[in-house]
Amino acid sequence: MFLWVAVLGLTMLLYLLLDGFDLGVGILFGFMRDEEDRRRMLSAISPVWDGNETWLILAGTVLFGAFPKAFAAALSAFYLPIIIMLGALILRGVAFEFRYKTVDYRWVWNGSFAAGSLIATFMQGVIVGSMVQGVAVVDGQYAGGPLGWLTPFACLCGVGLCFGYALLGASWLVGKTDGVLRKHAYGMVPFLTIGVGAFLLVAFLYAGISEFRIMARWFERPYLLLFPALGIWAAHRLFRSLVRHDDFQPFRMVSLVFIAAFATLAISFWPYMIPFSITVQDALAPEPSLNFMFWPGVIVLPLICAYNATVYWLFRGKVRDEEYETPTLVLLDYSSTYPENDN
């Protein structure tokens, strides 16, 4: 049981961090007006962004195979936002490729890439916020309406995650780019950090006032205060790195803030998979199913980790100027291969 909980937690956290920063770059992409800056932004994520979404697929696979009851309840509750999120991810993927194929309509694909990133992020935040509030589950089945997930707090969490991913994206650009774009990214990080901090404060106050079940767990588990303390320390180190212009430190510190927030949520709701409705033990698949998944998991997960680690290692450091160039179509001359028929 604990093995699959750990695997699910790891895959979700890696998706949050890795796809989070490239979604954040996509959100910031919409605020850039200079085409060269836009090319630099895409060059900063293009080697890794496809692989980042692998973690979302893997997390869904683990949830489906190891915790089918939680998968069924969550999918029933969040069917519409998940469909919208997947549609937005597809839109940004298409826009990423098509923007290089046109000039007159590039603005359409630029807008599609930014909108897809923003909508996908917002929907992820809405799902998390609705999950925190609790899902109406009766006898292991979703008992709410089709829009039961659409609450003010869930929308607030959607906005908060947009700020969070944008902060991850800005800190990634600080470490990957130079020149004017790097300067712009440095300027965005403090404002986005304040936005994330304000959201976390409001969310904490809401939990303290409205969700007594959540606050009760903080009194039962005082060690949970270690994670917010870790987040505050990371935020302090983040601002110090901005003053010192340490390009590679901001992304590490923002990632640490995300890790602290993720751990706080996960431990606050333990042992529930669907808060206050379905526990880990209730959601767990039968033993034969877990045994069937074990060996493929032992092989596949290390391979995915090794592949992603290799890609990030190969493309480490700053993006070089020549990598900003747009791929061009190479025209080949076949006249010598197929000479004209003189007859």
pTM: 0.88
Q: Which residues contact 307 (CB under 8 A, 6 or more apart)?
A: 51
* pLDDT tens digits for range 179-209: 888 999 999 999 999 999 899 888 877 776 7
- Long-range (24+ apart) CB contacts under 8 A made by 312-316 are 312/48, 314/47, 315/47, 315/48
State both tokens at 134: 């609790």
- Asked if omega into 271 is within 30° of 0 (cis), the reply is yes
State both tokens at 289: 């199913």
Q: Phi then psi for 179, rounded to 5 degrees? A: 70, -145
pLDDT at residue 265 above 80? yes
Taken in order 204, 208, 213, 219, is the CA torsion positive or negative? positive
The lowest-confidence range among 40-44, 107-111, 151-155, 202-206 is 202-206
* pLDDT tens digits for range 217-259: 777 777 878 888 998 999 999 999 988 888 889 999 999 999 9
Instruction: Give the H or E element holding residue 306.
Output: helix 287-314
From the list 236, 302, 225, the residue with the least C-alpha distance to 263 is 225
